[in-house]
Each structure stands twice: as structure tokens, then as C-alpha cells.
Amino acid sequence: MVFSSIEFLYVFLPVTLLCYLIAPRKAKNVVLLFFSLLFYWWGEPKYTILMLFTITFCYAAGRLIENKKGTRAGKAMLTVSVAVPLGLLAVFKYADFFIGTANSLTGADIPLLKLALPIGISFYTFQALSYVVDVYRGDTPAQRSWINLATYVVLFPQLIAGPIVRYTTVAEDLSTRSHSMENVALGIRRFVYGLGKKVLIANLLGSLCTAYRESGDPSVLFSWMYAISFSLQIYFDFSAYSDMAIGIGKILGFRFLENFNYPYISKSITEFWRRWHISLGSWFRDYVYIPLGGNRVKPLRQIFNILVVWCLTGFWHGAGWTFMSWGLYFGVLLIIEKLFLRKYLEKAPSFLQHFYVVFIVIISFVLFNADTFTMAFSDLKAMFGAAGLPLYSADTLYNLRSYGVLLIMAFIGATPLVKNIGKKIEGTKISTVLEPVSVAVILIICTAYLVDGSFNPFLYFRF
């Protein structure tokens, strides 16, 4: 079940919120846990038990780690509590990649496991890991209630595709959260705006990308349209999910942190990654980069730390060499900026800084979206006129006319322009009318698209 579906919007969500509303305060987490498990079971019935095992294991590990804090037994328990969830993630997500690589290098014929990837395993594993590590560090006491810890891990708004919520962020909300009509209204607005980004922008950009892949009349311009469209699609798709998750969380009384902050307005790759998928970047910073020594070590060691983090970042997104190369691509660029490039960038005109970032990111997503290096190289050759393609074609012009307005809307939507206009009229008589009307109109239009079957699953479901 996905947020942008009729069954979620008009069956699951209303029933869940109604049951949550009428439940007494002490039973609200039980209600949330039940419906969150139902939400996951709907899409992954056979792997629900795997998630419950991870929760139960980390619950027991947290209690033992707290009891043995400062001892060798506590450190050993931490090692085991990190190894087990990561081991499950490795088996289900990476086993066939490692087997296939071993077969290629050695000529062996080890059979692949061919295990289906459990939805959301990359996200809920990192959340469970952050809990046990924070207990070991003394940043939070171990959770005494299995129900509360399970609710944290399984909470359906962010279960499938993030943002990666730290236990310390919501620990207080799990037991003493407050509710208000103001937060409900803000949550509904945030959810519907996210739904609009997904259905009316990301999905249509996805259609343009599909048109490029299926075209028998490619061109250089069409290749660039594809690359730009996918770069915008993945932003609107993933940030839309984060918006909807934050919105539902606000309705339920939870305060999830922001996950995107207009990354395409960045003036450096360093800034871009402070604005893109913030929860993942901060997770790797706090649980990998800083424990490795961060920037408190010698320059060569710091370079090594950065490369390790970005190799893992790429690998987190998918079991493939293209993903790992995508991560290392950004790792190398960040090192170059840190060593010398940033001081030159800061002196350059703003438009040149923005162009640099957008160009680098567009190229990166061509690699990210390619199944193989051959496909990525073929796409890049087409973009730079090395594939013998014409500058444009009839199919290019047709799709440019069909999607031109959408691309302009996406360009504008990827900047804070609309948000800034909204802030200026906030609190005025215009906003009191315009806001509920816009929410209603977006919901109606999105519903019409979904009834018509015009929707795609979220891109980050496959990661």
C-alpha cells in the first residue's frame, strides 16, 4: 500500500485516524502499532515476522546494554545488536550481489538465493540501529515498553521510505505527545501538498522518462530532457513522501525532522548534501563518519573516512556497482571541494555556482538510474553528442510540447519561490480562503488521477 493510492487515502488512513482519535490516551500506541503492522503486512505479509524479530531483538539488546553499560559485556552486546540487524539486511539485500561478484571473479557457479527484498528494510534497520547505539552511548535510556519501541520502528508514516527517524527525536512523543486542531490542520496541508508533488509532478516526470526509454527517435536534446526529468522526478518523488510522512506524523502528534531543504538551489556539492536526504546524511555522519574520527584526524585519514562513508551511502541505495560508483563519485567531489575547489567556487558568480551543482547532480543521476555501466555510458554519450544522434527529432519536439509546461512547473517547484510567496500572504484574508481551497482542489485532482490509474510506486521503495 502506498500513500498515493485510493485504498490508502479513502480507506486505510480515515479508519486509522478515526480509531486513533477515539482510543484512550494509554491505548493510542497500541492502535498505531496495530495499524502500522497492518500497513506493512498489506504489502509484505511474509516479511512482517522479520521486522518483528528485529524489533524484539533490539528491545532485548537495549535493556541488556543499559544493564551492562561500561563493561565488556555491554560492548559485546552492542557488537551483536549491530551485527544481527546488519546481517539480516546483508542477506536479503546484498547476498546475491556478493554471490554474483564471487562467481564472476572466480568462475564459480554458486546458486543465487533470489530472495525478495523486504520493503523498507533499509529504513527500519537504520532506525533500530540508532536506538541500540544511542542507548550504549547514554544518549537515551532503554525503552521499557516493547509496545512503544515497536511503535517507533513500525510507525507507518515513515516505515517504508523514511525519513530515517532517530529514537531520540521521538522518544518523548512516544509517551507524552500532545494533539491540537492546529497541528491536524498543518498536517493535512503538508500531506496534501506532498500528495500533489507526487501525483501531479513526480509521476508525470516519470512518464517523460518512460517515453525516452521507449522512443525509437532519440536525440541529444531528448537525452538531456530525460536526464533533467529524472533528476527532478526523484527529488519530487522522495521529498513528496517525506512531506506526507511529516504531515501524518504531525496529525498523530509526532515531530519528524525535515528531510529536504530545496537542494537544487545549492552553490556547492557540500551544501547539496546538507539539503538532500538530510536524515540519511546525518545518520552516516553520526554513526559512521564521526566514530571513524571525522575531521579530527590527519588529512589522509579524513579522506579515507569520507570515501568509506560515501561508498556505504551508495551501497545503501542498492546492491550494485553503479550505486557504489555513484556514492564514490560524490565522495571524490566532496574531497575536491574540501581540499581546494570550494574557495574558488565562493568567488564565482552565483549563477555559475548553481550551474556547477545542477550539472554535477544531473550527471550523477544518469549513473544512479542506470542498471549497468554500459547503460550509463550510453546515456552520457547520447547527452554529449557522441552517439551519432541528431540534435533533436520529431519525437523530441512532440514530448517537449507535451511536457514543457510540466518541466517549467518542476523547475519553479524545486525552488523556495512558491513557499516564499505563501509566507508573504500567510495570515491575510487571501490566505484564509486560498489555503483550504488549494488543499481541496489538489486532493480532488489527485483523486481523479488515481482513479484513472495514473500513478507510480515511490522510487525509494526499491531501496
112 grid coordinates: 543465487
Q: Specify the length of the chain in residues.
A: 463
8 A C-beta contact, residue 347 and residue 267:
no
User: Is-cis flag, bond preceding 263, omega within 30?
Assistant: no
d(C-alpha 74, C-alpha 201), whole Å: 49
311 grid coordinates: 561508498
Taking the C-alpha atoms of 298, 302, 304 and 309 in order, what is their torsion angle to the nearest 10 degrees? 160
**Which residue is catalytic, options 179, 277, 317, 354?**
317
Closest CA to 338 of 288, 366, 300, 284: 300
Helix ranges (H only) for 44-120 are 48-67, 72-89, 95-106
Helix ranges (H only) for 197-260 are 203-214, 220-252
d(C-alpha 362, C-alpha 28), whole Å: 44
Q: What is the DSSP-derived secondary structure letter of residue 46?
A: G
Does residue 179 carry a catalytic annotation?
A: no
8 A C-beta contact, residue 62 and residue 135:
yes
8 A C-beta contact, residue 32 and residue 151:
yes
8 A C-beta contact, residue 139 and residue 168:
yes
The catalytic residues are 317
